C-alpha cells in the first residue's frame, strides 16, 4: 500500500532521484530458484539507456545495474532482490532556473503544492530517470513468466502513424525509434530532428503485445487485469491515455462488430477476432494481450513558455538541460517492463487462489 | 490488497452476484462525524437504476440501500459502513442457455478458464449489477470531500458525438442519456432504439470532470492520481480505454501546444489551458480534473454470434435476458462514483503524509 | 490495508456493532470449487454463542449465519463470500449510563478520544460481539486447509491452571469452559460463579495447537508466521499477551535447553522437542504450531470503579448490562478462528511464491 | 502487502543478507520537510553495533549508513528514503558446516523446506544482521513523532530479573546490557561470561515504554495498536512472546484489580493505574505505552546439538562463527525501532482518518 511500490505478491518498490547518487528498486516476492545475474537485466536497461542516438536525451549514463541481495550462487533465494544503478552524468547547474520558475506541463508546481518543497535538480523524483528502476525490475519479472513474450513498439509520433501493412517485428530493434515500419522510421528521423532543432517536442503512441499468457490470469473485480495494466501504464511519466484492445474505437462500435466469435479447435476454443485485447471480465482469455499508451510531448522544451515563479511573479521559461525530444520513444522498454511486472504479479496471484 | 476491494485508506469492498439474494459494499476508513443516512445514498442509486427508460435494461430493481453499520445517531462513527441492496427482480430461467455456451465478449469463458466453474445467472459476479455497490460507496465518498463536485456525462454513442458548443450542464439530468447536448440526445433516441430493435448494442464515451480539487492530491510515483483514476475506471465493466486531459490527442501534439501556460493571479497561479486534465506528475494542479472513458457495446446481444459450448462444440448464441442496449449510459453514475472514491481516498492519503 | 480487514490473499473484512441490525464478514480470495453451506459455519458459531451456560453473558443470540454471495450450487465460486448474522437480542436501554461515563479498562474513553464520538450501545464496534464475524470467517478458512486441525482450550482461569497430566482432548467439548482437565473444570465452576456473584470478572489463558501444517508456511521477514499469529491474536478483544512455543519461558532458558534437536526419520527429519512452537525463522517446521494467549478479565463489571464522565466530572460506574464473567472462555473459538485464518492465508501465500 | 515491508502509510521495506555486499531499507511515506541527515541515524545504529563488548558478537561492522535518496538540502522531500549499510566484516568460510547440517532452533531447516534452497552464509536473510536496517528506519520514524520518547531496556537475562526499586533510566546507557539496575548489570557480567565460555547462550526479556503518545492512536479492529506492536515485535529475530501492559499477569487477575480507574484532572482524565499498558480497545489512552518482549537464547551455540544433514543423515553440530551469547541484549535498539515505526505509522493513519 506504499506510495512507491507496485504489485500485490510480486511487488517492487523504487527509490531515487535524477541527481542523487543512485536510483534503485527492491523486488519482493520473487519465487526462489530462478537463475539471475546482472547479465539478465543489463540488456533491457541498455535498450532504455539515454544518449544512444540524437533522438533521445544526451545525458550519458552507463546505467550499470548491481544486484545487492536476494541471489545466491546465481539463483534467486526468495528474499528481496535489491537493484542499484548509480547516477554518473548529473549536471545540476543546468537546473538553476527550474528551481525558481515552474515548467508548465511538468511536475514542478504540483510537487511544490503538495510537499511545500522539492528537489528541482533534473526533476528530482519526477524525472523519467526513475523509469530505469522499472526496467530493471521488469527484467526480473520476465524470468518469472518465461513462457510470456512482451513486446512494445512506437506506433505514432506527433500524429504520424505507422502503416500496419509494413509491420516487421525485427525492424523494431533496427532503428532508434523502436518502429516496426522501416519507412515510418525514416520519416520520423526528419520529424523528430525538426522538433529538436525548433526547441520543441513530440508526443507518441506506444503499443504493446503480450503473447503466451494463458486464459485465467486477472483478479476480478478490483484487480482486473485491464485495471492493473491501466494503472501500471498510466503511472509512467508523460502517459495520458491507455487503451485495451480496440479501446476508444470500441466505443464507436456495435455489439456484433465488437464480439470476438469463438470456434472449437483442437486445443480448446479459437477466437476469430481480438477486439477485447485478450481480456474479458478482467481475466485473460488466452489471446494476445494488446494495449496502446499515449505519451504526451516532453514538457521540458527550449521554446519559452509563460509561467510564474515560486514567488508568484510572471515569467517565461525555456528549459535548457538535456531532454528527450520525444519521451515516448524511450517509453517502449518502460511499458514493456510495466506490462511484464503486472503479468508476473497476476501469474502468482492466480496460483495463490486457483492453485 | 484484496481482489474485491479498492482504495488505500478510504477503502471499500464489494460483494454479491446478479442473481443472489443481495449485493453490497463495506466502506472502511471513513472519517467520523459525517452526517449520513440512506437518503444521502439513494438519489445516486436512483440515477443508475435500471428500467427507467426503454434505453436501459428492463430489469426492475428498486435498489433500496440499507445502512447496516457504521452510523450512530445519524453520523458516521469511523467504523465500517455496511451497505446492502437486495436483489428483487431476478429471472434466472432466462439464463439457461448461457450456462452451456459462452457469450463472446462477455466474461463467461474467462471465468470458467480461471475458476473452473461459474455462477452463470445473469453473469454472476461479472454482471453490471455489481456497479450499484460502487455507486452506493461513491455516495459516501462524496460526503468526505464535500468541496469537490464530480460530474459525468455521455459524450458519444456509437461514434455520434455531442457538439461542445451546445454543452448545457443542466441538460444532463433532463434526458435518459445523461447527454449535455439536447440535440444529440434527440438523435441518440433513434440510434439506440434502432440498435435495440436490431438486437444489437452500442459503445459510448463517458466524460467526467471534478472541480474543487485543490492542488496537491495524488501520491507519486505508484499511486499517482492519474494512475489511480485509470485503475478505478478501467475496472468498471465494459470499459476499454481511459484518457486524462487530452489523452491520445496529446500524443499527436507538440511540447509548446500541449503546455498549460501559467500566469500569476490574486489567489495563486492561474492556468491558461488544461491539456493535462488537472494532473501533473501524478498530482492535482488545482485545475478541474478531466477524463474520458470508453465503454464497449454490451456484449449480451440478441443477434446470434458464433461461439463454443462448455463441452467444446461449435454453437451460435443469442442472449435473451434483459440487457442495456448501451451499457455506457448507466456507466455515467458509476464513473462518477469511482472518480469520487479515488479523490476521497487521495484526500485522506494526502492528509496522512502532508498534514 | 484497511482498518477492518485482515489477511493478504485470503482476506476478510468485518463490519457491524453490538446493537446494530446485524454484523458480518466479507471473505475475499477464497479458492473456487470448495463445498460450502451455512451448515459448515453454524457449528463453529454455536460453540461461541452466548447464553449457553451461566458462565457466559446471558444475551440470547441465535447467531444464525446467512451466506449472501460467493457460493453457487453449493460450491465457492472464487468471488467474495458475504456472511451476515442478524442481531436479535439487543437491549440498548441497559447502556444509558455508559453513554456518559467511561468504563475503566474498556474502549469507551479511547474511542471518544479518537473519533470524538462513539456508539455506546453495548460497546458498539468494540464489543466482543464482533468476534462472531471472525468465527464465521474462520469456518470458511478451515475448508481451505482441510489437512490442518486447529484446536484451542482454556489453560487457566484467574491464575488457576490445568494439570497437564490430566489433559484429555475429548473433555474440551464436555464442559462449559473448553477445559481439557475435568478436575480443573469442576474447580472453575466455583471460581467463576463466585466472581460473577461478587460482580467481578476473571482473566484466562487460552492455548491453541495447529497440527497438520507442513514445513514451509510463513513469509519472512515481515509476514513471519509468528508475527501474523501474534497480530491476529493480539487483535482479539481483551487479549494482552501472546506466546509462541515456550514464549516467556524461553527467555529464562539457555541455548542448548531451548534447542529442538533433530534426528533423521523415515519421512524426513524428526524433532525431539518443540520449544519453538513449530516455527523457526518465521516459517513452519512441520511440528505442531503452539501458542498461548492471555485474556484480561472482562472490564465491564458490576463492582463500582472510579471514573470520569464525558463532561469531565468524577464518578463511579457499575456496568449493568449482561457480560461474560470471564471473556477468555468464549475466546477459545475466536482464537481458533484467527489461527485458522492466518494459516489459510499463509498456505495461499506460500503457493503464490513457491508453487 | 509485501513480504519484506512493514507499515501502512509510513512504510519501510528492507533487503540484504548477512554476507552480501550490503543491507538496507527503503522508507516510504515519510512526511516532507523534516530535517534529516546520516547524523540523525548513526547514533541509533551505533547502539546496536556488534563488537562493542565481549557480551555481543565479535563481528566488527562499522555500520555506516548512507542516505541515497529522499533528502534534499538537508530535508526530507516526501519521496522514498533509501538507506544503505555496507557489510564489511564477513567471514563466509566460518559457515561451511552450516551449509550441510541444520542448526536446531535456527531458520536453516525451515528456509530449505520453504525455498528448496538458501544462502547459508551467516544465516543469510534470517541473520540478526538484518535488524540494522530496522534500526536505521526507526531513526527516521523518531523524527516523524518527535513528541514521543521510546525507550527500551533489558529486564531479565536467563531468568535473572532486575529489581524495579533500583530502576535508573540513566543507567541503561552506562552498561553493556542496557540494564537500568546497576547491581543486576554486575551480576549479568558473570552470567553472560559464563554462558559464553560454556559455549551456551541465554534468553532475555526486553521491556519498552513510549511516552508522549496522545490518546487516539490505533486503528481498530484489525490494525489495533496492540496488534500492530505485537506483529512488529514478534517479527524480530528470536522473539517468542509479547505482552502489552500486564500481559499474562492480567490473565491471573480480576476485573476490579485490573481496571485503570480514572479521575478528572486539569488537563483531562488522569489514570490511577496502567495495567492496560496505555492501550484500550486498540487505541492509545494517553498513558505510557508499555510492553515486554521475550527473546529466546541465541540458537547458534558452540555446544554440540543433535541434528540432521541436508542429505538426511544424523549429525551433531557446533556452530562456530561469531555469535551473540545473548541476542536479547542487542534486541533493545531493535525493539525501540519497531515500536517507533509502528507509532509513526499510526500517527499518520490517525491523521488520515481523523484529521
Residue B1 has pLDDT above 60, yes or no: no
Q: Please say whether the dihedral angle defined by the alpha carbons of residues A333, A336, A340 and A342, taken in this order, is positive or negative.
A: positive
CB atoms C14 and B117 under 8 Å:
no
- Of B135, B41, B42, B130, residue with least CA distance to B338: B135
Quote the distance between the C-alpha of residue C315 and its chain's center: 33
Angle at the Cα of C302 from the Cα atoms of C296 and C307, rounded to 5 degrees: 80
The predicted pLDDT at position B92 comes to 59
**In chain B, whose CA is at the least distance from the CA of D351?**
B352
The predicted pLDDT at position A94 comes to 62
Q: A-chain residues within 8 Å CB-CB of B328? A: 251
Count B/C contacts: CB-CB distance under 8 Å.
158
Per-chain mean pLDDT for chain C: 94
DSSP states of B310-335: TTS-EEEE---S---S-HHHHHHHHH
The predicted pLDDT at position D168 comes to 98
Count other Cβ atoms within 10 Å, centred on residue A173.
10
Name the more confident of D55 and B66: B66
CA distances to A23, A207, B352, D282 from D30, in Å = 18, 36, 10, 24
**In chain C, whose CA is at the least distance from the CA of A32?**
C354
Of A8, A9, A354, the CB nearest to C31: A354
Residue A1 has pLDDT above 60, yes or no: no
Residue C1 has pLDDT above 60, yes or no: no
Q: B-chain residues within 8 Å CB-CB of A269? A: 102, 109, 308, 312
Query: With bands split at pLDDT 50, 70 and 90, how would you rate the model's confidence at D97?
Result: confident
pLDDT digits (tens, 9 = 90+) for C7-35: 999 999 999 999 999 999 999 999 999 99
* Alpha carbons A115 and B344: distance in angstroms, whole number: 19
Query: With bands split at pLDDT 50, 70 and 90, how would you rate the model's confidence at A98?
Result: confident
Can you read off the three cell numbers belonging to residue A313?
Answer: 511573479
The predicted pLDDT at position D197 comes to 93
Instruction: Tell whether residue A237 is among the known ligand binding residues.
Output: yes
ipTM for this model: 0.97
CA distances to A72, C223, D116 from A33, in Å = 9, 21, 8
Name the more confident of C113 and D92: C113
CB atoms B263 and A156 under 8 Å:
no
Looking only at the bridges linking them, the beta strands covering D289-295 and D239-244 are: antiparallel
Q: B-chain residues within 8 Å CB-CB of A258? A: 105, 203, 296-297, 299
Query: Is the CB of D355 inside 8 Å of chain B's CB atoms?
Result: yes
Average pLDDT in the D72-98 region? Answer: 86
* Alpha carbons B219 and A65: distance in angstroms, whole number: 27
When scoring B2, B4, B6, B125 by the number of chain C Cβ atoms within 10 A, the one with the most, hence best to mutate, is B2
Distance from CA of A50 to the nearest CA of C (A): 34
Numbered residues of the known binding site of C for NADP(+): 48, 54
Can you read off the three cell numbers belonging to residue D185?
Answer: 548489570
Lowest mean pLDDT segment, chosen from C47-61, C222-236, D15-29: C47-61
Query: Is the CB of C223 inside 8 Å of chain A's CB atoms?
Result: no
Lowest mean pLDDT segment, chosen from A332-336, B337-341, D120-124, D221-225: D120-124
Query: Is the CB of C302 inside 8 Å of chain D's CB atoms?
Result: no
The predicted pLDDT at position C94 comes to 62
Residue B78 has pLDDT above 80, yes or no: yes
> First-to-last CA distance in chain A?
25
Neighbour subunits, A (≥3 Cβ pairs < 8 A)? B, C, D
CB C23 within 8 A of CB D221: no
Query: With bands split at pLDDT 50, 70 and 90, how would you rate the model's confidence at C92?
Result: low
Q: Please say whether the dihedral angle defined by the alpha carbons of residues B51, B57, B60 and B66, taken in this order, is positive or negative.
A: negative
User: Cβ contacts of residue C322 below 8 Å, gap of 6+?
Assistant: C57, C58, C59, C91, C94
Average pLDDT in the B159-177 region? Answer: 97
Can you read off the three cell numbers belonging to residue B31?
Answer: 472519517
Q: Please say whether the dihedral angle defined by the alpha carbons of residues B163, B168, B173 and B174, taken in this order, is positive or negative.
A: negative
pLDDT digits (tens, 9 = 90+) for B226-241: 999 999 999 999 999 9
Segment (H or E) for A339: helix A327-354
Q: Is A202 helix (H, G, I), strand (E, B) or coil?
A: strand
The predicted pLDDT at position D54 comes to 83
CB atoms C281 and D107 under 8 Å:
yes
pLDDT digits (tens, 9 = 90+) for A152-205: 999 999 999 999 999 999 999 999 999 999 999 999 999 999 999 999 999 999
Average pLDDT in the D179-201 region? Answer: 96
Lowest mean pLDDT segment, chosen from B88-102, C299-313, D40-54, D248-262: B88-102
pLDDT digits (tens, 9 = 90+) for D230-279: 999 999 999 999 999 999 999 999 999 999 999 999 988 999 999 999 99
Query: With bands split at pLDDT 50, 70 and 90, how would you rate the model's confidence at D307?
Result: very high
Segment (H or E) for B270: strand B268-271
Query: Is the CB of C299 inside 8 Å of chain D's CB atoms?
Result: yes
Query: Is the CB of B54 inside 8 Å of chain C's CB atoms?
Result: no
Per-chain mean pLDDT for chain D: 94
Residue D349 has pLDDT above 90, yes or no: yes
**In chain C, whose CA is at the least distance from the CA of D206?**
C251
CB atoms D255 and C299 under 8 Å:
yes
The predicted pLDDT at position C93 comes to 64
* Alpha carbons A202 and A325: distance in angstroms, whole number: 6
Q: C-chain residues within 8 Å CB-CB of A79? A: 220
The predicted pLDDT at position D92 comes to 59
Query: Is the CB of A1 inside 8 Å of chain C's CB atoms?
Result: yes
pLDDT digits (tens, 9 = 90+) for B27-62: 999 999 999 999 999 999 999 887 788 888 777 888
Distance from CA of A66 to the nearest CA of B (A): 23
* Alpha carbons A151 and A211: distance in angstroms, whole number: 9
Query: Is the CB of B79 inside 8 Å of chain D's CB atoms?
Result: yes
User: Cβ contacts of residue A111 below 8 Å, gap of 6+?
Assistant: A118, A124, A125, A126, B281, B283
The predicted pLDDT at position B323 comes to 80
The predicted pLDDT at position A283 comes to 98
User: Cβ contacts of residue A186 below 8 Å, gap of 6+?
Assistant: none
CB C289 within 8 A of CB C213: yes
Distance from CA of A27 to the nearest CA of B (A): 14
Angle at the Cα of B122 from the Cα atoms of B121 and B127, rounded to 5 degrees: 125
pLDDT > 90 fraction of chain B, expressed in percent and rounded = 86
Strands (DSSP E) found in A17-172: 22-28, 65-67, 71-72, 75-76, 81-86, 149-157, 160-161
Residue B123 has pLDDT above 90, yes or no: no
The predicted pLDDT at position A341 comes to 98
* Alpha carbons B139 and D116: distance in angstroms, whole number: 50
pLDDT digits (tens, 9 = 90+) for B262-273: 999 998 899 999
Give D 17-46 residues with CB within 8 A of chain C: none
Distance from CA of C117 to the nearest CA of A (A): 28
Query: With bands split at pLDDT 50, 70 and 90, how would you rate the model's confidence at B94?
Result: low
DSSP states of B98-116: HHHB--TTSSHHHHHHHHS
Residue C235 has pLDDT above 80, yes or no: yes
The predicted pLDDT at position C122 comes to 82
Which CATH entry fits the domain spanning D5-354: 3.60.150.10, 3.40.50.720, 3.30.420.310, 2.40.50.220? 3.60.150.10
Per-chain mean pLDDT for chain B: 94
Does D187 sit behind a cis peptide bond, omega within 30 degrees of 0 on the bond before it? no
Cell 439506440 maps to which residue? B192
Segment (H or E) for B71: strand B71-72
Query: Is the CB of B99 inside 8 Å of chain C's CB atoms?
Result: no
CB atoms C354 and A29 under 8 Å:
no
Of C111, C241, C313, the CB nearest to D243: C241
* Alpha carbons D54 and B57: distance in angstroms, whole number: 79
CB C290 within 8 A of CB C278: yes
User: Cβ contacts of residue C164 below 8 Å, gap of 6+?
Assistant: none
The predicted pLDDT at position B95 comes to 67
Q: C-chain residues within 8 Å CB-CB of A1? A: 1
When scoring D13, D348, D353 by the number of chain B Cβ atoms within 10 A, the one with the most, hence best to mutate, is D353
CB atoms A77 and D20 under 8 Å:
no
* Alpha carbons B300 and B324: distance in angstroms, whole number: 9
When scoring A201, A254, A339 by the number of chain B Cβ atoms within 10 A, the one with the most, hence best to mutate, is A254
pLDDT > 90 fraction of chain A, expressed in percent and rounded = 86
* Alpha carbons C345 and B203: distance in angstroms, whole number: 40
Looking at the DSSP assignment, which residues form a beta bridge with residue B93? Answer: none
Residue D59 has pLDDT above 80, yes or no: no
* Alpha carbons A61 and A48: distance in angstroms, whole number: 11
- Of A219, A173, D331, D248, residue with least CA distance to C78: A219
The predicted pLDDT at position C343 comes to 98
- Of A190, A217, A189, A187, residue with least CA distance to A278: A217
* Alpha carbons B213 and B344: distance in angstroms, whole number: 10
The predicted pLDDT at position D148 comes to 98
Q: 3-class secondary structure for chain D? A: CCCCEECCCCEEEEEECCCCCEEEEEEECCCCCCECCHHHHHHHHHHHCCCCCCCCCCCCCCCCEEECCCEECCEECCCCEEEEEECCCCCHHHHCHHHCECCCCCCHHHHHHHHCCCCCHHHHHHCHHHHHHHHHHHHHHHHHCCCCEEEEEEEEECCEECCHHHCCHHHHHCCCCCCCCHHHHHHHHHHHHHHHHCCCCECEEEEEEEECCCCCCCECCCECHHHHHHHHHHCCCCEEEEEECCHHHHHHCEHHHHCCCEEEECCEEEECCCCCCCEECCEECCCCEEEEEEECCCCCCCCCEEEEECCCCEEEECCCCCCCCCHHHHHHHHHHHHHHHHHHHHHHHHHHHHC
CB atoms A354 and C220 under 8 Å:
no
Residue C311 has pLDDT above 60, yes or no: yes
Count other Cβ atoms within 10 Å, centred on residue B316.
11
Name the more confident of A217 and A100: A217
Query: Is the CB of C311 inside 8 Å of chain D's CB atoms?
Result: no
- Of A345, D257, D116, residue with least CA distance to C352: A345
Q: Is B241 helix (H, G, I), strand (E, B) or coil?
A: strand
Can you read off the three cell numbers belonging to residue D35?
Answer: 530535517
Phi/psi of residue A218, nearest 5 degrees: 120, 145
Instruction: Tell whether residue A57 is among the known ligand binding residues.
Output: no
Query: Is the CB of C351 inside 8 Å of chain A's CB atoms?
Result: yes
* Alpha carbons D287 and B179: distance in angstroms, whole number: 58
Instruction: Tell whether residue D87 is among the known ligand binding residues.
Output: no
Lowest mean pLDDT segment, chosen from A2-11, A35-44, A204-213, C244-253: A2-11
* Alpha carbons B247 and B205: distance in angstroms, whole number: 13
- Of B215, B263, B270, residue with least CA distance to A313: B263
Query: Is the CB of A75 inside 8 Å of chain D's CB atoms?
Result: yes
* Alpha carbons C320 and C300: distance in angstroms, whole number: 8
* Alpha carbons A240 and B338: distance in angstroms, whole number: 18
* Alpha carbons C35 and C71: distance in angstroms, whole number: 9
Segment (H or E) for B263: strand B262-265
Amino acid at each position: 500500500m506504499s506510495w512507491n511500490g507496485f504489485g500485490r505478491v510480486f511487488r517492487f518498490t523504487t527509490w531515487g532521484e535524477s541527481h542523487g547518487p543512485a536510483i534503485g528498486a527492491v523486488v519482493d516476492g520473487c519465487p526462489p530458484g530462478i537463475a539471475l545475474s546482472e547479465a539478465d537485466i543489463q540488456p533491457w536497461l541498455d535498450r532504455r539507456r539515454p544518449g544512444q542516438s540524437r533522438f533521445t536525451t544526451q545525458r550519458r549514463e552507463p546505467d550499470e545495474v548491481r544486484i545487492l541481495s536476494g541471489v545466491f550462487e546465481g539463483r534467486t533465494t526468495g528474499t528481496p532482490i535489491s537493484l542499484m544503478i548509480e547516477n554518473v552524468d548529473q549536471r545540476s547547474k543546468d537546473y538553476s532556473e527550474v528551481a525558481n520558475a515552474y515548467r508548465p506541463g511538468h511536475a514542478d508546481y504540483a510537487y511544490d503544492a503538495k510537499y511545500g518543497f522539492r528537489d528541482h535538480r533534473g526533476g528530482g523524483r519526477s524525472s523519467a530517470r526513475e523509469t530505469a528502476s522499472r526496467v530493471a525490475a521488469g527484467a526480473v519479472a520476465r524470468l518469472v513468466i518465461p513462457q510470456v513474450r512482451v513486446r512494445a513498439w512506437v506506433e505514432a509520433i506527433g500524429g504520424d502513424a505507422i502503416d500496419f501493412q509494413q509491420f516487421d517485428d525485427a525492424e523494431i530493434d533496427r532503428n532508434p525509434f523502436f518502429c516496426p515500419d522501416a519507412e515510418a522510421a525514416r520519416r520520423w528521423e526528419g520529424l523528430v530532428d525538426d522538433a529538436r532543432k525548433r526547441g520543441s517536442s513530440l508526443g507518441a503512441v506506444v503499443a504493446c503485445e503480450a503473447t503466451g499468457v494463458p486464459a485465467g490470469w486477472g483478479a476480478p473485480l478490483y484487480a482486473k487485469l485491464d485495471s492493473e495494466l491501466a494503472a501500471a501504464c498510466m503511472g509512467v511519466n508523460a502517459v495520458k491515455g491507455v487503451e485495451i484492445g480496440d479501446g476508444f474505437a470500441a466505443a464507436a462500435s456495435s455489439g456484433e462488430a465488437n464480439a470476438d466469435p469463438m470456434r472449437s479447435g483442437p486445443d480448446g476454443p479459437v477466437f476469430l477476432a481480438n477486439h477485447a485485447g485478450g481480456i474479458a471480465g478482467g481475466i485473460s482469455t488466452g489471446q494476445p494481450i494488446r494495449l496502446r499508451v499515449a505519451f504526451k510531448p516532453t514538457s521540458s522544451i527550449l521554446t519559452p513558455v509563460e509561467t510564474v515563479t515560486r514567488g508568484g511573479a510572471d515569467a517565461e521559461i525555456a528549459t535548457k538541460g538535456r531532454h528527450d525530444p520525444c519521451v515516448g520513444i524511450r517509453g517502449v522498454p518502460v511499458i514493456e517492463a510495466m506490462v511484464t511486472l503486472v503479468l508476473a504479479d497476476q501469474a502468482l496471484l492466480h496460483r495463490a487462489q486457483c492453485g
